[in-house]
């Protein structure tokens, strides 16, 4: 079996390789093919994985280590793939800083996936995502594409226009929420122990856990009433325990940006750097140091017990990567917290676990339950309201819900009717994203303007126009896309 990772020079790619190599799931991956357009990043992550493979081999995983290949040629990378993980970042971390700063300069939220920054990210990413989808359809038509690229909902929706139901989006934030609740109830909600059932519904980074039943008994109201329990749930601490009690549901952590927008903007503005600027410097330092270390042939474990830092002469690419990863995870969404991130909140499994479980279920037929980004209605269906998971949203909208996955595919599970307030938030965001998708597919400046202007965190034609002009000036990809629109 061949797994292709697009954006193979990305910082988190070694986590995926390690998960595949050490999984005791009956899944056999013979080849992991990395693809990236940046040769330095590709070589660096290849060196990290080679060091990781040495460690895994020493720990007894040699028999399950996939062969590693790397290429800058998309056709070569995708040809013959059984699964394609798409984790591209068009423009790199530097482009993310433009997304953030243009919005912040207008007094708006500057964040990677939420608000106007997320729309700008999507606008320059969708043309590349469509190119990927067309290549997969041509040279690997039976492959499943698992989209990691943010904003996952709109990017997955674009890929579905070519690949239909074989394009699925994943995000680790909903499963992290479910795991935290499961720990409090002492039950594996993901595996469905003790007849556990959950109701989670939303769009990517805009969703709610509305029901948790165990052995037939509804347990969520009891958790919401318990201050001590809510203190153990990161999402409740972020948005406010009194709010989640009043709302009657546990939100995805990204609801912080919708419910506390002014606070989020103030915290980001007060910081010396945005998250994008922090990552651009951190990753720039890492790739430079790791490339130098790879050139010296440092051992995989060099400096591991000596506390070698990123500037150490004896640290290996693998050790440098591990140190940088720890800092990256510990500072995730730092602007939303008044304290350092708790270790139990970090240990959630991440994208790599969700992707591995999804791939294993599809390849082996072993049934799994997971929250995924999928079509509101099956591709190729009539799109009638009776076929939709959320009848009041368009059939082609990508929603985030619990799914059953097996050898026959991905099967979204029914949800209870969506309350008016939540439905309104979902519809408003989806309408703005739909205009951005139209702009990305047609080159229409007018559609792009409408998308920025109508986003619920903008709601201003004048600001929408300023955002559009700022992103055209800051992103050559967007400027080229909209040049004739």
Residue numbers annotated as active site:
172, 254
Helical segments of 249-387, H only? 255-259, 261-270, 275-296, 317-330, 343-346, 350-364
Q: Is 150 annotated as a binding residue?
A: yes
Counting Cα atoms < 13 Å in the Cβ hemisphere of 175 gives 26
Residue 210: phi, psi to the nearest 5?
A: -105, -15
Cis, bond preceding 423 (omega within 30 deg of 0): no
What own/partner pairs with CB < 8 Å and gap ≥ 24 does 221-227 have?
Answer: 221/248, 223/181, 223/184, 223/185, 223/250, 224/248, 224/250
Best CA proximity match to 227, nearest among 184, 189, 178: 184
CB 30, CB 66: distance < 8 Å: yes
Cβ neighbours around 347 below 10 Å, total:
11
**Which residues does 141 contact at the CB level (< 8 Å), separation at least 6?**
none
Q: Is 96 annotated as a binding residue?
A: yes
CB 407, CB 442: distance < 8 Å: no
Q: Is 171 annotated as a binding residue?
A: yes
CB 418, CB 426: distance < 8 Å: yes
For the chain, how big is the Rg over CA atoms in Å? 22
Cβ neighbours around 305 below 10 Å, total:
7
Whole-number Cα distances in Å, 477 to 37, 74, 242, 347, 472: 15, 19, 44, 36, 8
Q: Is 313 annotated as a binding residue?
A: no
**Which residues does 347 contact at the CB level (< 8 Å), separation at least 6?**
none
Q: Which residues of 348-384 are buried (b: 16+ CB within 10 A; e: fewer)?
A: bebbbbbbbbbbbbbbeeeebbbbbbbbbbbbeeebe
Measured between alpha carbons, how far apart are the two ends of the chain, in Å? 43
Question: How is residue 187 annotated by DSSP?
Answer: S
Annotated binding site for Mn(2+): 171, 205
Annotated binding site: 96, 150, 171, 205
């Amino acid at each position: 079996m061949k797994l292709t990772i697009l954006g193979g020079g990305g910082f988190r790619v070694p986590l995926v390789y390690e998960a595949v190599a050490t999984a005791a799931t009956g899944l056999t991956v013979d080849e992991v093919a990395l693809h990236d357009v940046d040769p330095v990043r590709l070589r660096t992550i290849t060196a990290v994985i080679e060091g990781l493979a040495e460690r895994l081999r020493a720990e007894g995983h040699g028999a399950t280590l996939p062969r590693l290949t790397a290429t800058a040629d998309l056709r070569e990378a995708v040809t013959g793939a059984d699964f394609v993980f798409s984790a591209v970042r068009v423009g790199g971390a530097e482009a993310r800083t433009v997304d953030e700063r243009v919005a912040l300069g207008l007094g708006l939220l500057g964040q990677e996936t939420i608000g106007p920054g997320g729309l700008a990210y999507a606008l320059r990413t969708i043309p590349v995502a469509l190119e990927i989808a067309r290549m997969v359809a041509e040279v690997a038509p039976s492959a499943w594409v698992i989209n990691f690229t943010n904003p996952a909902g709109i990017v997955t929706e674009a890929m579905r226009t070519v690949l239909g139901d074989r394009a699925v989006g994943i995000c680790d934030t909903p499963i992290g929420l479910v795991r935290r609740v499961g720990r409090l109830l002492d039950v594996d909600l993901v595996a469905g122990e003790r007849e556990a059932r959950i109701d989670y519904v939303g769009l990517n980074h805009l969703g709610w856990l509305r029901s948790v039943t165990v052995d037939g008994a509804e347990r969520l109201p009891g958790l919401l009433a318990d201050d001590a329990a809510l203190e153990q749930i990161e999402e409740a601490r972020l948005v406010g325990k009194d709010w989640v009690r009043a709302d009657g549901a546990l939100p995805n952590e990204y609801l912080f940006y919708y419910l506390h927008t002014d606070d989020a903007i103030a915290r980001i503005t007060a910081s010396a750097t945005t998250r994008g600027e922090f990552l651009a410097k951190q990753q720039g330092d890492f790739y430079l140091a790791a490339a130098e270390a790879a050139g010296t042939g440092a051992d995989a474990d060099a400096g591991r017990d000596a506390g070698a830092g990123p500037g150490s002469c004896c640290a290996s690419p693998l050790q440098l990567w591990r140190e940088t990863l720890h800092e990256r995870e510990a500072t995730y969404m730092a602007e939303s917290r008044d304290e350092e991130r708790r270790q139990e909140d970090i240990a959630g499994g991440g994208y790599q676990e969700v992707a591995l479980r999804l791939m294993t279920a599809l390849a082996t037929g072993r049934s799994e339950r997971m929250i995924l980004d999928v079509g509101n209605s099956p591709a190729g269906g009539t799109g009638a309201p009776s076929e939709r998971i959320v009848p009041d949203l368009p059939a082609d909208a990508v929603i985030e819900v619990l799914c059953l996955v097996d050898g026959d595919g991905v099967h979204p599970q029914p949800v209870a009717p969506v309350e008016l307030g939540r439905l309104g938030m979902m519809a408003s965001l989806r309408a703005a994203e739909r205009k951005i998708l139209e702009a990305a597919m047609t080159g229409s400046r007018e559609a792009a303007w409408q998308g920025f202007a109508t986003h619920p965190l903008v709601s201003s034609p004048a600001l929408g126009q300023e955002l559009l002009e700022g992103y055209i000036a800051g992103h050559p990809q967007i400027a080229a896309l909209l040049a004739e629109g």
